[in-house]
Amino acid sequence: MNYPLFSEWHTPHGLPPFEEIKPDHFEEAFIAGFKQNNAEINAIVTCPEKPTFVNTIEELERSGKLLRRVEAVFFNLAIAHTNDQIQALELKIAPLLALHEAKIYQNSKLFERITQVKQTAIGLENDQVQLVDDLYKGFVRAGADLDPENRRLVQKIDTKLATLMTAFGQNVLKESNSFELVVDAPSVLAALPEWVRDAALAEGHERGLNGQHVFTLARSSITPFLQFANDRDLREAVYRAYTGCANRDNAQDNKVILSEIALLRAQRAQKLGFADHADFMLSDRMAGSSASVRGLLDQIWKPARQRAVEEAKALQKVIQEEGGNFSLAPWDWAYYTEKVRQQRFDLDESACKPYFALDRVREGAFAVAAKLFGIRFILVEDAPVYHPDVNCYRVEEADGTLIGLFMTDYLARASKHSGAWMSDFRSQSHLDELVTPIVINCCNFAKSDPCLLSMDEVRTLFHEFGHGLHGLLSKVRYPSQSGTNVRQDFVELPSQIMEHWATEPEVMLQYARHVDSGEAIPMSLVEKLIASEKFNQGFATSEYLAASYLDLAWHEIGEDIPDVHALETAVAKDIGLNEAIDPRYLSTYFKHIFEGEEYSAGYYAYIWAEVLDADGFEIFRANGIFDTATAGAFRQHILEAGGTAEPSVLYRRFAGHDPLVEPLLRQRGLD
């Protein structure tokens, strides 16, 4: 057996020994993990004693330790630092893992023991009651109470879906990596801010094109190009490359794959007794139903659409004033919005970027956590990491007590999936002993020296840091309730509420310091940034909501799967989407909903959680954004509580009331 994965890690701080772990090690380790976990499950179901919480539920929580450790390392590498060998193994392992999990959750004898515990257990504590309820629902939703034939069919669907979803994500990564636009026209380069040119040069260097300005489909590359490139044809080319990702009828085309995913999900939902996949997924979320989700989306859509109409008119006016003889198109929106922003607020992003150096922004986020929760982050110099871009921090309470480890991986590279996310190598629990978490934040900022962020990227860093705090400050007994193991439309609350501190003047004046002089950002610039926060919200809200409606459309259909383009067109027409706005994600690269299950029929979760975060931050504003009592209540009832109670209960414990939608509308300037 290979030491790195089969044995306990005796590395400094309990981190995985990345230098010793090779791709060849994983398959054997997964097989051993499956075997060990199967033996543990068998011991539970053959236990001669009457089923109890201790001998059934707690033993389930203890099971799978080796498998969880192997999964954490493998899948974090698969998304953050992959290669051909890992991708091939991922396609092989994904269906095996899905089959393994399906066999556990469809084990009729195990389900019978859980049912008996649910029916007979008395004297359980609140977190234990929640654990039993959630576990019982999980088994039912996996098909444990179906007849053997239908259990077998659901199991087959789960296995096939695992392969398809893995292939979907890999296709998007390959398509994204294959695109590059080399810009050498002096007139175009001259129109780009220096920081955009520097990032493009760095990308060229990474791709072996030294001295060339290279733009890619990464958000950190395409967004500033669309904002500042004065060549409309090039903007259109880049935009169409992005929106056509994995939709080119080549080996990486995702149309057939995503259609099969939608079909299999619909078939599984019907086998499990649900009307459709949306009905299946939403029955286990705060929203509860498609009707509730659509009710919220519709309430916000109307003012957002109207605001977008006004914004489009303003942009078209600029086009005409400049002598343009064309109608506003999607690849024009960011370019002319930047012009209007500069006119209306006298705000040039190029003037802001020097104040948002990556390292200082990160320290700013740490400082907020220190003031709110009394914790501190200490760089660990000797920590083993999987890539040189990764940093590791020891997180402590004010008295020096270890909370956990926090890793940051912020820069884009070809071996890394796009987007931003939080994950962990070890989650917190204290069932038999205290297990401290190892949490990681990943982003995809353009690699340059120094790395300067846009305001949106600053918010992204604070957003993922909020997820990180949810994992770090977890204080639960059972692993399955740890940190971010909460309802999908509740998990974004800690991340989105953290974004508010990024633009608070007293916070920004501390972390936003000029990269060269070290001088604090001028208050006049801070005021302009704050004043512009509600700018372009018609567009921003519309593109997000359009993607949410598209997600629901894919998962409210039955087995009659439509053509991809036809469905996208129908959704846009049904909601009256402005022709100059596309959904934030089109189907073939909509990784949230087709690369995995969690956000399928759940992309709405960001706006659902924004209702919570807008309402919650008003409490902070009323009491003081660093009020210790308010911060303490948020830590206790939201960050520490994990999945120990229903989200609505946790929120009421913190806020003292149910959330209201009006703060969100005010926050976006749509009231």
Question: What does the block give as tokens for 555?
Answer: 């998962």
Cα 408 from Cα 270, distance rounded (Å): 42
Please tell me the predicted confidence (pLDDT) of residue 132. Answer: 98
**Looking at the chain, which residues constitute the CATH 1.10.1370.40 domain(s)?**
354-531
Architecture category of domain 3-105+107-145 in CATH: Up-down Bundle (1.20)
The DSSP output letter for 52 is: -
Longest Cα–Cα distance in the chain:
84
Those residues whose C-beta lies under 8 Å from the C-beta of residue 425, and which sit 6 or more positions away, are 15, 16, 72, 73, 76, 407, 438, 439, 440
**Looking at the chain, which residues constitute the CATH 1.10.1370.10 domain(s)?**
255-347+536-603
Please tell me the predicted confidence (pLDDT) of residue 639. Answer: 98
Question: Strand 213-215 vs strand 181-183: parallel, antiparallel, or unpaired?
Answer: antiparallel
Cα 590 from Cα 617, distance rounded (Å): 30
Please tell me the predicted confidence (pLDDT) of residue 484. Answer: 97
**Looking at the chain, which residues constitute the CATH 1.20.1050.40 domain(s)?**
3-105+107-145
Per the annotation, the verdict on 464 as an active-site residue is: yes
Please tell me the predicted confidence (pLDDT) of residue 166. Answer: 97
Cα 104 from Cα 111, distance rounded (Å): 9
What 3-state DSSP class applies to 644? coil
> What residues of the chain score a pLDDT lower than 70?
1-3
Q: CA 369, 371, 376: angle at the middle one, nearest 5?
A: 55
Question: What does the block give as tokens for 74?
Answer: 């493998």
CATH of 255-347+536-603, one of 3.90.1200.10, 3.40.50.620, 3.40.630.10, 1.10.1370.10: 1.10.1370.10
Determine the topology of domain 354-531 in CATH: Neurolysin; domain 3 (1.10.1370)
Annotated catalytic residue within 40, 101, 464, 568? 464
